[in-house]
Amino acid sequence: NAGVTQTPKFRILKIGQSMTLQCTQDMNHNYMYWYRQDPGMGLKLIYYSVGAGITDKGEVPNGYNVSRSTTEDFPLRLELAAPSQTSVYFCASSHTVEGRDQPQHFGDGTRLSIL
C-alpha cells in the first residue's frame, strides 16, 4: 500500500548544483502537486499537473521545473540550487471526480539543504 513515494528523503546540495526530486504514486490519480514547506509557514504550491503531459505553475514556481510523462511520476527539477530553496518538499496526488472535494494524499517529504 505505497501511496505517494518520494525520493530521496534527505539531500544536501552546494549552491549552483542541480538535482531532481522524484515522486511516484500508485493510486492512478490524475492530479499531482509539488509543495514546499518552510518553518512557521503554510505549504506553498510550486507546480501542479492535472494529467500526463499537462503541467502548470503554482504560487512559487521560480527556480523549478517539472514534467509529467506518465500518470504515476511527477519529478521536480532544481537547475541552479540557491540557499532560498532550502526547504522540505512535499509531493501530493488526488483523484478528481467532481473536481474539488477529494482529499490530497501526501508523500513523506524530501528535506533539502542548500549550502
Partner 1 sequence: KNQVEQSPQSLIILEGKNCTLQCNYTVSPFSNLRWYKQDTGRGPVSLTIMTFSENTKSNGRYTATLDADTKQSSLHITASQLSDSASYICVVSAGDNNDMRFGAGTRLTVKP
Q: Which of 7, 84, 108, 113 binds partner 1 (CB under 8 A)?
A: 108
Query: Interface residues for partner 1 in 20-39 (CB under 8 A)?
Result: 31, 33, 35
Interface segment toward partner 1; rule CB under 8 A; list 14-22, 63-71, 76-84, 103-111: 103-111
Between CA 91 and CA 106 the distance in angstroms is 6
Q: Which of 19, 27, 45, 60 binds partner 1 (CB under 8 A)?
A: 45
Question: CB–CB of 8/89 below 8 Å?
Answer: no
Query: Interface residues for partner 1 in 60-89 (CB under 8 A)?
Result: none
Q: 58 vs 25, 35, 47, 85, 100, CA distance in Å? A: 20, 9, 5, 15, 17
